[in-house]
Amino acid sequence: MTSTGFEPKIAAFVCNWCTYTGADLAGTSRIQMATNVRIIRLPCTGRIDPLFIIKAFERGADGVIVSGCHPADCHYTAGNYHARRRFTLFNDFIEFLGIDSRRITFSWVSASEGQKWADIVNDTTARVRELGPFSGYRDLVRSGLTGGQDAGT
């Protein structure tokens, strides 16, 4: 915990085949990393709807990680290419919503890259900690853009 008492909450949407296994390797190898990340495992980064990221912020996340297989290594052939295209366009939308793009990390981590996963977690946690808490999700809910009713639901 920092001197201000703020520890960021980070949601990580990860591919089942590569990043999730890399994260598991980091844990079983006892690699030291921040404990601020909560993993949401999906079949492929190509299946991650950008609204999942908005919902994570709405529900209290201070930062988000999206990570999957390296290009040309996707178990579903082109899912990571679809994700890369989708999130390139999504950057304009998050700026429109007032979400600082530094709160979102997009990365490729293979099953054998436990240390890389730990580095991404530590770097993202440190960057979001410097940015401070994200309270803009309350504004998103109030504006009705997310369809939510309450930030606590």
pLDDT in tens, 67-121: 999 988 888 888 888 888 888 889 889 988 889 999 999 999 999 999 999 999 9
Say if 149 falls within a structural domain: no
CATH of the domain at 36: 3.40.50
* Closest CA relative to residue 27, chosen from 148, 127, 142, 114: 114
Say if 151 falls within a structural domain: no
Q: How far is CA 128 from the centre of its chain?
A: 11
| CA distance to 48, 72, 82, 93, 115, per residue, from 54 (Å) | 11, 28, 19, 10, 28
Any idea which residue has 């009705």 for tokens? 144
Say if 28 falls within a structural domain: yes
| CA distance to 16, 76, 95, 97, 116, per residue, from 109 (Å) | 11, 16, 26, 28, 7
Say if 152 falls within a structural domain: no
Can you give the residue range of the structural domain that contains 136?
Answer: 10-143
pLDDT at 1 over 60: no
In whole angstroms, what is the distance from residue 138 CA to residue 119 CA? 30
Instruction: Assign 123 a pLDDT band (cuts: 50, 70, 90).
Output: very high
Say if 5 falls within a structural domain: no
pLDDT in tens, 20-58: 999 999 999 999 999 999 999 999 999 899 999 999 998
Total structural domains within the chain: 1
Any idea which residue has 């429109």 for tokens? 96
Say if 3 falls within a structural domain: no
Q: Is 2 exposed, middle or buried (0-12, 13-18, 19+ CB in 10 A)?
A: exposed
Say if 150 falls within a structural domain: no
Say if 102 falls within a structural domain: yes
